[in-house]
Structure formats: C-alpha cells, structure tokens
Structure 1
Amino acid sequence: MYEKLALLASPTEAAQEAERRLRATSPFVDLNEAEAVIALGGDGYMLQVLHTMLESLRILPVFGMNLGTVGFLMNEWRLEGLEQRLAKAKAFKVNPLRMTATTVAGQRMSMPAINEVSLLRETRQTAWLEVAVNDRVVIPELVCDGALVATPAGSTAYNLSAQGPILPLGSALMALTPISPFRPRRWRGAILPERTRVRFSVLDPEKRPVSAVADQREVRDVAEVVVAIDFAMPLTLLFDPGHTLDDRIAAEQFIT
C-alpha cells in the first residue's frame, strides 16, 4: 500500500477542478517525498509525467485518472475510494524505447519514448531509408512517408493508425511499421523480439530531409536513428482490476 501520494494534474479546466476536489478529500505530499503518483488528465499528460520521471531518474508507480479524451493509459475518474482502488490496483511494467539520433550536422541526441519512435519526411519529397536489424540490412531502400518502432503499450496509438499490429502487453515484442510505404510496395512491417536493435539510415538527407520523434520530442534533419528497448528504466502503471492495459489492448483488436 502506498502511504505517501503526490497529485499531479494537466492544465486543462477539467483536470484542475478534479485536482481541487481531490485535494479536499485526501492528504498529498510533494513529488520528491512520494511513493506513488496520482495523475489527472489524458494520455498525453500521462506520457508527460512518465517522461518527467525518466529525466529525473526517480521512477514512481503512476495511477492515472482520465480527464482527457481517449484515456487509454488511464483509469476512470472517480472522486471517492482512491485508497481502496490503490490497494487493489494491478501493476504493469512498461519498458520504454531509447532513441539515439545523429543529425546531418553531427549532433548526437538520446531520448526515451514510451509509445513509439517515428521517422517522418520533412518536405513533400518521400523519405528514403535504409533499415537494419541488429546491424544486418534488411531493407536497402524503403521509400515512404516514414517508419516507426512501437512498444506494446504504444502499439494501439500511432502504430495502429499506420496499419501496424497490436501487441499484447508482456509479449516481449516490438513493432516495426512503415508509414505510407511506396517501395517495397507490399512490405507492411515486422514484429521483432524486444531485444532487437533497429537502425534507420537516411539515404538522401539533403534533398529528402527526415525528422525523428520520440513520443512528442522531435529531432530534425537526422542522418541516422538507432532504436532499442531501455531495460534499465522500467516504468510502472497502476490499473483498476478488470480495467487493465492488457484488457484494453486485447479489446482493441475487436473494434470495427
């Protein structure tokens, strides 16, 4: 049971009002003293909270309550019974991706991504990418709008919109998915073991510039991007029983 809880809320009116009401019913502590975090908002805010913890290197379990739109990573918002819900909550470990991007100018940046790392063309010109898996070139020239690597937790987000596969949580897999591929015309992506290292090399970065995005953080004009799971910093999400992330991922496969 978590005795010291921090309460964080997105700046939206609904989340701020929920925070005010919740603070009137329960004591909360500063984030630096907390054993777990209550996050009020939508999926975007949940990602923001998780990224903040990754950057601070202080990882705490997070119980989110949805005051956004989709709320795929969140529980239902309820004012009452928070202590009882936390006592019964089911914990899920999520290993983030680590993107290492090198720009055309030679700058090297490393960023985490909880949902996906995506490469996107910057202009009207298609992107030309070389794709390597564990240092073996598997596609010498992928002509496309872009490509992405997604975790199971992120497989129902941008990856699903790009016609990528839904991956069950705990499957120890990740999805490699092209975005509007032109050539090879029939290639629709791959499902890879979670310990795979994927490298994208931009074949014509001057004429066909490409940006790399780790969740919401963008690096423009990249020459090479390496993506792999970061097992050193697992994240913990807390869910109500019967309303868990693996249940939602499974249910997404039957939505028409």
Structure 2
Amino acid sequence: MKIAFTASQKPGAKTLMDQFVAIYGNHDAGEADVIVPIGGDGYMLKTLRRYMALIRRGLPVFGINRGTVGFLMNHPGINDLPDRIEQAKEAIVSPLRMDAVAKGGTISELAFNEVSLFRQTQQAAHIRIMVDNKVRLDHLMADGVLVATPAGSTAYNLSAHGPVIPLGADILALTPISAFRPRRWRGALLPNSAKVSLEVLDPERRPVSASADNLEIRNVHRVDVEQDHATKLTLLFDSDHGLDERILREQFST
C-alpha cells in the first residue's frame, strides 16, 4: 500500500509522522493509494482543499488524530495501519459550495462542515433568508446564521443549538446564531437540493463576514449556498468507529 503522509504543525504531529514514515515509507500524493493527514479536524479540512483534484478522482483520506477533538480523524495507533485502512468504513461526503458577493466581486469556496455568516462589529447582523429564490424569513436579527452538512452538523452547528443530522440523511441544517428577532425561530431542516440565499441588509452600517469552514471573506453583501453533488469525497474511518456512529453518539451525549 502506497501511503502519502502529511502532518500539521501541532505538537507531536510531525514526530508521529516520522514514526509512521519509518515503518511504512512515504509517497507523493499523486502516486499514493491513500492520503493520511496527521493533526486535527482543521488540518483535515486543509488537506481536503490542498489535494482536492486527487480526492475528487477517488483518492481516499484516512485521518490520524493529533488535535483537540479529532471528530473527522482516527486514533493514532501506529501498528497495522495498512490493515486498518483496508478494513476501514467509507463515508462519502459532498461539500457545500459558497458563492459570496463582496465589493471586489464574487468569491467561490467549498465548505465541508458549514458556511457561516457573522456580524463584524458590535451591531447585530440583519439578514434576509431565501430558499430556492423564495423569501422564507424577511428579516433575521442575529449574530449570524449558518448552513451545515450532516458531517458538519456536530461542529459549530451543534454549538449554536442546531440539530444533529444522521450522515445518510439528504438534509441540510439552517441554524441562526444567537437570534434576537424573531426570538422563537430556531432554524430549519432543508432538502440537500435546496439553494439558500442569504442577503445582508444594510451592509455598510452592519457589516457581515462569510466563512466556508475556516476560510473567511469580509464585507459580503450576499451569499448563495448549495450542496455540490458533483463533488464526492471518500473519508475512511476505523471499522469500529465510523463517522455515522460518531454522529449518532452525539445525539445521546450529555
């Protein structure tokens, strides 16, 4: 098995990579059977972006945890790595596509967890929400709002009191962040075919930034979000610790 190892700058990640490489060798990603990033969830997202062309063509990713949470990663055991990879469970995920309109033009990015809008100042954000070109909420006053995939529903979406979505569900979560008006609106569950448009009201006095996972664009006027069904990525997880099981457990955590 040809493995392409890569590691973050987190303490211990480079050291662990050296231990793996000493046993299994290291290959260029273009020649490898699998990419193994070593780090945390943020580094996993960075790796997916870095090797997007190869991963889109079917190169799988098996993450090794050296981060804080490691929800998208596997345990850092060194022994029998090729066997673990061969026996791993596949999770096929499609990212969100974000088209953010700012003063300089439209910027497009992919997000694997969520697309989020945040207020940039002490002023609450004022946002109009449209789904498939129909206004569903004319005026949201909040710190922000986000659209999350099932894989990302246990991340910031859950912290914002959004629902946890099973991995196989064809659903997206639309979740407000600290909503002030309307007070009783807790968000919505949308089919993953939906196109969500978030229009910033009064962007000069109440500036808003948009983030595709950890990539931020400031002073946006409008953000369109929809799932990129043409892009399918294969994440691998230890057979006894699949992503679907992790998401299910989150629904019963206390």
Alignment TM class, shorter chain as reference = over 0.9
One-letter code of the match for 1:111?
Answer: E
One-letter code of the match for 1:117?
Answer: V
- Report what 2:207 is aligned to: 209
Give distance in 2, aligned partners of 1:52 and 1:136. 35
Give distance in 2, aligned partners of 1:52 and 1:8. 11
Give distance in 1, aligned partners of 2:235 and 2:51. 13
Give distance in 1, aligned partners of 2:192 and 2:237. 23
SS at match of 1:99: strand
Superposed CA offset, 1:60-83 (max 9, x none): 210011111111001111111011
Following superposition, the deviation at residue 247 of structure 1 comes to 0.4
- Report what 1:218 is aligned to: 216
Give distance in 1, aligned partners of 2:68 and 2:123. 33
Following superposition, the deviation at residue 106 of structure 1 comes to 4.8
- Report what 1:95 is aligned to: 94
Give distance in 2, aligned partners of 1:106 and 1:74. 36
Following superposition, the deviation at residue 27 of structure 1 comes to 2.2
Superposed CA offset, 1:128-152 (max 9, x none): 1000000000001011110000000
- Report what 1:67 is aligned to: 66
Superposed CA offset, 1:30-69 (max 9, x none): 1121121011111111111012123xx2212100111111
What residue ranges of structure 1 are gaps of 5+ in the alignment? none
One-letter code of the match for 2:62?
Answer: F
Identity score, percent? 52
1:22 to 20, 23, 27: 20
- Report what 1:247 is aligned to: 245
One-letter code of the match for 1:136?
Answer: K
Aligned residues: 251
How high is the TM-score relative to the length of structure 1? 0.96
Would you say 1:80 and 2:76 are equivalent positions? no
SS at match of 2:12: helix
- Report what 1:58 is aligned to: 54
- Report what 1:45 is aligned to: 43
2:3–2:24 CA contact under 8 A, matched in 1:
no
2:108 to 107, 110, 114: 110
Structure 1 segment 81-160 matched on structure 2, within 5 A: 81-103=80-102, 105-160=103-158
Superposed CA offset, 1:202-244 (max 9, x none): 1110100000000011111111000000111111100111201
Q: What stretches of structure 1 move > 4 A for 4+ residues in a row?
A: none
Give distance in 2, aligned partners of 1:203 and 1:177. 18
